[in-house]
C-alpha cells in the first residue's frame, strides 16, 4: 500500500481509488463514458508500455529531464491507476476480489500442478 505524503500511514485501496477517481473527474476523463472493452484495451496498452520500458531500460527509473516519470515502475503505476479507476467505474470491489482470489490461490497446488508459467 502507498503511504500518505509525510504521514507514514499506508493508504488503503479505497483511499487510492478516491484520489484516482477525483483526479480523473478533474482532468475530464469522466466527460464521456468508457466501454468495458475500451477499458480492457487501455489496460492492455499500459501493460504493453511496461514491456517496452523493460526492453529499453530494464527496471531502472528512466525519468526524463522534463520530470515525467518513465520506466517499468511508472508504467506499472499507470496499470494500477487505470485498474482502480475501472474497478470503480464498473462496480468491482477490488479489495474484496483480491481477498477472495488470494484465499483460493492458497488452495492451489505448487505451480498449479507443474505449469510452466
pLDDT digits (tens, 9 = 90+) for 29-39: 999 999 999 99
Place of cell 517496452: 52
Measured distance CA(97)–CA(108) in Å, rounded: 17
Total-model pTM? 0.86
Q: At what angle do helices 72-89 and 36-57 cross, to 10 degrees?
A: 170
CA distance linking residue 19 with residue 81, whole number of Å: 10
The predicted pLDDT at position 44 comes to 98
Distance separating alpha carbons of residues 84 and 78, to the nearest angstrom = 10
End-to-end CA distance of the chain: 26
Q: Name the burial class of residue 16, with classes exposed (0-12), middle (13-18) and buried (19+) by CB atoms within 10 angstroms of its CB.
A: middle
Q: pLDDT tens across 70-112, in order?
A: 999 999 999 999 999 999 999 999 999 999 999 999 999 998 8
- Rounded to whole angstroms, the Cα distance separating 20 from 25 reads 9
Element at 72 (helix H, strand E): helix 72-89
Amino acid at each position: 500500500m502507498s503511504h500518505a505524503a509525510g504521514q507514514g500511514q499506508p493508504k488503503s485501496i479505497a483511499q487510492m481509488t478516491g484520489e484516482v477517481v477525483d483526479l480523473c473527474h478533474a482532468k475530464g476523463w469522466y466527460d464521456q463514458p468508457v466501454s468495458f472493452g475500451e477499458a480492457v484495451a487501455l489496460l492492455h496498452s499500459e501493460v504493453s508500455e511496461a514491456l517496452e520500458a523493460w526492453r529499453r531500460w530494464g527496471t531502472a527509473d528512466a525519468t526524463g529531464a522534463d520530470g515525467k516519470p518513465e520506466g517499468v515502475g511508472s508504467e506499472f503505476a499507470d496499470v494500477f491507476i487505470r485498474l482502480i479507476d475501472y474497478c470503480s467505474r464498473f462496480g468491482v470491489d477490488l479489495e474484496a476480489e483480491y481477498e477472495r482470489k488470494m484465499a483460493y490461490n492458497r488452495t492451489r497446488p505448487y505451480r498449479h500442478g507443474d505449469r510452466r508459467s
